Structure 1
Amino acid sequence: MKALRFYAPEDVRLEEVPEPVCGPAQVKIRVRNCSTCGTDVKILHNGHQNLTPPRTTGHEVAGEVVEVGSEVNATYGSSWQAGDRVQVIAAVPCGECHECRKGWMAVCQNQTSVGYQYDGGFAEYMIVPEQVLKVDGLNRIPENVDFDEASAAEPFACAINAQELMGIEEGDTVVVFGAGPIGCMHIRIARGVHKVGPVYLVDVNAERLRMSAEAVAPDEVIDASQVDVVERVMELTGGRGADVVITATAANVTQEQAIAMAARNGRISFFGGLPKSNPVISCDSNLVHYRQLHIHGANGSAPEHNKRALEYISTGQVPVKDLITRRLPLTDVLEAFKIVENGEAIKVTVEP
């Protein structure tokens, strides 16, 4: 079968490899969609400390069961069978550490990941490892949800995790930094689930702003390369600031601006991680103190967030179909990475 194999930074090869063999405590799937994100591009260029080469990458996976290990259904009380349509979690908690026992699976200290420690979905077939089954991380796709939509459930789950930490209330004014796919998902969740008020979308890329604005229709787009973002948000809110600010981008300045523009009792999500070479920002601690601001980190998701993402997609609360603007075959997977890197689409999916 064909698979995209990572050997080293800048050495990623689409090659023929043996079809994987399903073990007794595993499930084998035919990959139908594996969507792409900025993390895939980072791995291409820089690798990752948790990724041991050679490794098949790809972590936003949906597919069809082709084989179920002999021990799976008896061990996990499941009823998986060939032909089942499934979505696979990416971040895999251990289920046993202090954080997992507290219900904080998104920050499991022993977390492993599909496409890092386990071969991922940029391949024709993939093995769902036992650890995914152990934490109930293989999910049935609802009948009215397509494979491409289901593959978007993983990044969607990360956004759900971030927003549930923030105590968003109906009518809140929201600012989202980052007009990429995750920024669009944040807007859809804030509106569809939390029924927020005005939403303002910020980016420095005018074309990306235009493309995303057509899809999610924010109340205003703010081109941060042209205007003072904090000043503009203050104007839009009558000097009060934003109730909720989400920085879905890896830029230090957006986190600093988020603090400056937050209203009293404002909630801020540092959703996008910063480069390891430059992870420090300037924080006016008095703003945090006197405005009683709440600053939240957000790291990945738990299995339950993936299930909730599929439910929101199925019920229509949070549509994602129209956010998938490019579809490519596995033979063009490296072209998909270029599209993501250049910001030429909202969401790009690969269809092995």
Structure 2
Amino acid sequence: MKVARFYAPGDVRLEDVAEPVAGPREVRIRVRNCSTCGTDVKILNNGHPNLSPPRVMGHEISGEVVEVGAEVAAAGYGDWAAGDRVQVIAAVPCGDCRQCRKGRMAVCENQTSVGYQYEGGFAEYLVVPEQVLKVDGLNRLPEGLGFAEASVAEPLACVLNGQRLAGVGPGDVVVIVGAGPIGCLHVRLARARGAARVVLADMQPDRLRMAADLVKPDDTIDVSSVDLVEEVLRLTDGAGADVVITAAASGAAQEQALRAVARGGRVSFFGGLPKDKPVIAVDSNLVHYRELTIVGANGSSPADNAEALRLIATGEVPVSDLITHTLPLDRVLDAFGIVARGEAIKVTIEP
């Protein structure tokens, strides 16, 4: 079978390898879709400290079961059978640490990941490891949900976790900084959670227009030509937004968010910053006197993935139109280039 395997920064190879075989407590799936994300491009260019090369990349995965280990059912890992249509979580909690026992699996102390410590989904077949099954991380697709849409459940699960932590709810004015696929999902989910007004901002006018044409925010802010804080205040009659979500790797955006949010508002640092520039300036008195809340958002839990699938299947958060490019596995490097250049919202690979 064909795989896309990372060896070192700048060295991702398309290779022919033997098909994997499921162990007694594993499930093998045929990968139908594995969507790309900005993290894949970062791995291609810089590697990742948690990724052990050589490693098959790809972590936004859907497919169908082709082989079930003999001990899977007896171990309590589910009643799976060949032909079952499934989605696989990316971030894999241990299920045993203090955070997992408290129900905070997104910040598991011993988290591993598909495509990092385990082989990923840019392959024709994938063995779902026991650790994924142990934490209920293999999800059955709802009837009528396509594989391509299901592959977007993983990033939507992260967005769901982030908005829950930020308390996005009915009547809120929500500003989302970053018009990539994550930003688009934030717009759609904020609507589903009852936000009264959703504003999308980006510093790349072409990407902002492309995203806005699809997700239809109430307002857009082209940060390349206007000041984000001034424009948010103008749009809100000086009050500021109830929630500002920085879905971009920008320290400047995080600093601006604290000045663009209303009294008693919430700021979500959703996008992580470059490892060599992780520090920003925070006006502590602004946080203190306005009673602001700053929350982080790191990933998602298995339960978030299941809920994301439900939201997609019911149409509460549509995603099919966000998949702007579909490519075969032998063009995965082309897909990374499209993502890096900002020419797409979501690119999915069909092995």
TM (norm. structure 1) is: 0.99
| TM-aligned CA deviation for residue 78 of structure 1 | 1.7
How many aligned residue pairs are there? 351
- Which residue of structure 2 lines up, in the alignment, with residue 178 of structure 1? 178
Q: CA deviation at 1:169?
A: 2.6
Question: In the alignment, which residue of structure 2 is the partner of 1:68?
Answer: 68
Question: Quick one: distance in 2 between partners of 1:195 and 1:77?
Answer: 36
Q: Which residue identity is paired with 1:27?
A: V
* Equivalent position amino acid for 1:160 in 2: L
The corresponding residue for 1:255 is 254
- 2-side partners of 1:236 and 1:77: how far apart? 51
Q: 1: distance between equivalents of 2:279 and 2:73? A: 48
Give the distance between the partners of 2:107 and 2:161, measured in 1 at CA. Answer: 11
Q: Deviations over 1:143-176 (max 9, x none)?
A: 1110000000000000000011122231111100
Name the amino acid aligned to 1:41.
V
For residues 268 and 144 of structure 1, the distance between their equivalents in structure 2, rounded to whole angstroms, comes to 36
Task: Within 5 Å, give how 1:9-88 maps onto structure 2.
Answer: 9-76=9-76, 78-88=78-88
Partner Cα distance (1:41, 1:78) in 2: 34
Corresponding residue SS for 2:74: helix
Change in 2 beyond 3 A, CA 1:77/1:2: closer
What residue number does 2:287 align with?
288
Shift of 1:77: 5.2
Where do 1:176-325 residues align within 5 Å?
A: 176-192=176-192, 194-325=193-324
C-alpha distance in structure 1 between counterparts of 2:184 and 2:139, whole Å:
24
Equivalent position SS for 2:309: helix
Instruction: Tell me the residue number matched to 1:91.
Output: 91
Q: Partners of 2:161 and 2:94 in 1: how far apart?
A: 18
Alignment partner of 1:250: what SS? coil
Structure 2: gaps spanning 5 or more residues:
none
Distance 1:49 1:228 in 2: 36
User: SS where residue 75 of structure 2 aligns?
Assistant: helix
5+ residue gaps, structure 1, are none
Please give the alpha-carbon distance, in whole angstroms, between the structure 1 residues aligned to 2:322 and 2:12: 27
Using the TM superposition, give the Cα deviation of residue 74 of structure 1 relative to its aligned residue in structure 2, in angstroms: 1.4
CA–CA distance in structure 2, aligned partners of residues 32 and 186 of structure 1: 25
- Deviation sequence 1:102-156 (CA, Å, 0-9, x none): 0000000100000000000000000000000000000000111100000000000
Same amino acid, percent of matched pairs? 67
Name the CA distance, whole Å, in 1 between partners of 2:338 and 2:191: 28
Give the Cα–Cα distance (whole angstroms) in 1 for the partners of residues 77 and 216 of structure 2.
44
Q: For 1:220, give the aligned amino acid.
A: D
CA RMSD of aligned residues (A): 0.6
Which residue of structure 2 lines up, in the alignment, with residue 132 of structure 1? 132
